[in-house]
Amino acid sequence: MPPTPIPTAVRTLMELFAKNGERAYPVGGCVRDTLMGLPPHDWDVAVTTAPERTMEICRAAGYAVVPTGLKHGTVTVLVGEEKPRMPIECTTCRTEGGYSDGRHPDAVSFTGRIEDDLSRRDFTVNAMALDTAPDGTLCILDLFGGQTDLEEKILRCVGDPDTRFGEDALRLLRAIRFAVRLDFEIAPATYAAIRRGAAGLARISRERVASELKQILTGRNPDRGVALLMDSGLMPYILADIPVVLPADTRIADLPADYPTRLAAILWRTETETAHAALVSLKPSGEESHAVMTLLDDRAPLNSAAPIDMATARRLRHQYGALAHTRQILRAAFATTAADRTAEERLAQLIEASSAAREPVTAAELALGGRDLIALGVPAGPTVGKTMARLLDAVLDDPAQNTPEALSELVRKFQVE
Ligand code: ATP
Ligand code: MG
């Protein structure tokens, strides 16, 4: 018996089909989540009826029906009296024919047999259904050992893994995503097949690849996800074979959980033009792309071997402005190196200290302004700006220089150079 209760609407639908001499089986993710005691985010139901008959049965019971995907045998049924009524996707049990292109089944045939429907599913824990026993109690249809794998926390292909990844290479990424999200190990034979089949990812649309990557990066334990993507050999195909310098070790979990920041961390070690090409290959939205590139463009002072001292801290404040942004850059920079954890913390403390001491880090905070420079004999025009920049540079190195006297002295020095 599943530990999480089955919603009344789903039970009602199961009973309705049984009364009509047919079957409606909750199947896939909702069964897996229910058995794990997690709330499923939707309930998919496999039915023994063809779509027309599914609609007929449901309409006769007074439920609204939307033919959402007739080609795939799917109709959405709005079950229950109370609003909002629960939408349940009902899909005719089917097999999938050959996959000559490695991504779409050549033919889908509606067989109405749950055994066929479970066999086409990707992993054993995703290939279970709920059924009603003759005495009315719920039971689990588990043809491939999904319950054992769930207990042992193992992600395993249904059937021969090479064949299954060969049929649909998106499953390579789904395997990593589910293993990481569920905190499961990948069965050795399944993992070996992922490594052998990695190149198959090249056949998958870039949007679908990016969608899986996004879920891995923003989900729980992204660092294990990245490590698995690298170890399995999938990462180069995700990045379209663009020569990205992959991080040796990652602590992406420390970063804000948004896709651009975490993607920037993956691209952090790669020079900007190449990183941009890899980014574009993932077809990001304009907003995502802008956010990633802003982070990458801003990383320059942190990529040089800058010493960890107050002068570096002031330069970072000058470069990044708001403290929160500085902190974000800092985290992204250090999230992808194995060694520098304490360096990051020290630098962060220095930045806070510099900010708390209100040390000057912008031209506006200098003790002399443009007019003062002209009064000192600096010719009006571009030289004023250049002189201000040199003064700021000196003050970033040593804030004690930020007095009218000391700066005037410096201006005189620049004039004789
Ligand atoms: P999630 O909680 O992420 O939605 P889910 O298990 O519901 O997890 P879906 O992608 O919504 O995953 O797919 C629903 C079910 O359909 C899966 O549990 C699996 O049985 C099957 N499935 C989905 N995609 C594939 C695929 N590419 N190959 C084989 N079976 C698949
Ligand atoms: Mg789902």
> What single letter denotes the amino acid at residue 212?
E
**Angstrom distance (rounded) from CA 251 to CA 261:** 12
Q: What is the pLDDT of residue 324?
A: 66
User: What distance in angstroms lies between residue 354's CA and the mean position of ligand 1's atoms?
Assistant: 51
Distance 29 CA to ligand 2 centre (A): 6
The secondary structure of 276-342 as a DSSP string is: HHHHHHT---HHHHHHHHHHHHTTHHHHS---SSHHHHHHHHHHH-SHHHHHHHHHHHHTT-SSTHH
Q: Whose CA is nearest to atom 16 of ligand 1?
A: 28
C-alpha 384 – ligand 1 centre gap (Å): 64
Ligand nearest to the CA of 146: 1
Euclidean distance between CA atoms 44 and 75, whole angstroms:
11
221 DSSP assignment: -
**Which atom of ligand 1 is found nearest the CA of 171?**
27
- Ligand 1 binding pocket includes 299 (Cβ within 6 Å): no
Sequence-separated (6 or more) residues with CB below 8 Å from residue 175: 122, 123, 155, 157, 186, 190, 194
The answer, yes or no, to whether any atom of ligand 1 lies below 6 A from the CB of 28, is: yes
The closest-lying atom of ligand 1 relative to the alpha carbon of residue 44 is: 14
Q: Is the CB of 40 under 6 A from ligand 1?
A: no
**Ligand number, closest to the Cα atom of 144:** 1
Walk along the chain (417 residues) and give the pLDDT tens digit of each residue. 556 788 999 999 999 999 999 999 999 999 999 999 999 989 999 999 999 999 999 999 999 999 998 888 999 999 977 777 889 999 999 998 777 787 778 778 889 999 999 999 999 999 999 999 888 889 999 999 999 999 999 999 999 999 999 999 999 999 999 999 999 999 999 999 999 999 999 999 999 999 999 999 999 999 999 999 999 999 999 999 999 988 777 788 877 888 998 998 899 888 999 999 999 999 999 999 998 998 888 776 665 556 778 988 898 888 777 666 666 666 666 655 545 567 777 888 898 899 999 999 999 999 999 999 999 999 999 999 999 999 999 999 999 999 999 999 999 999 888
For residue 63 the two structure tokens come to: 């439920």
Choose one of 104, 126, 194 to mutate for the ligand 1 pocket test, by most ligand atoms within 8 angstroms of C-beta.
126
Q: Answer yes or no: is the C-beta of 122 below 6 A from any ligand 1 atom.
A: yes
What is the maximum alpha-carbon separation in the chain?
101
Q: How many CB atoms lie within 10 A of CB 343?
A: 14
Residue among 88, 103, 122, 141 whose CB has most ligand 1 atoms within 8 A, to mutate: 122
DSSP-H helix ranges across 4-160: 8-19, 29-35, 51-60, 114-119, 146-152
Range 47-59 burial, b when 16+ CB lie within 10 A, else e: bbbebeebbebbe
Closest CA to 391 of 416, 364, 417, 351: 364
Distance 389 CA to ligand 1 centre (A): 58
| Tokens coding 383 | 């030289």
Q: Which of 121, 155, 157 to mutate to test the pocket of ligand 1 (most atoms within 8 A of CB)?
A: 121
Residue 150 alpha carbon to ligand 1 centre in Å: 16
Q: Is the CB of 171 under 6 A from ligand 1?
A: yes
Among protein residues, the one whose CA lies closest to atom 15 of ligand 1: 28
Determine whether the shortest distance from the Cβ of 168 to ligand 1 is under 6 A.
Answer: yes
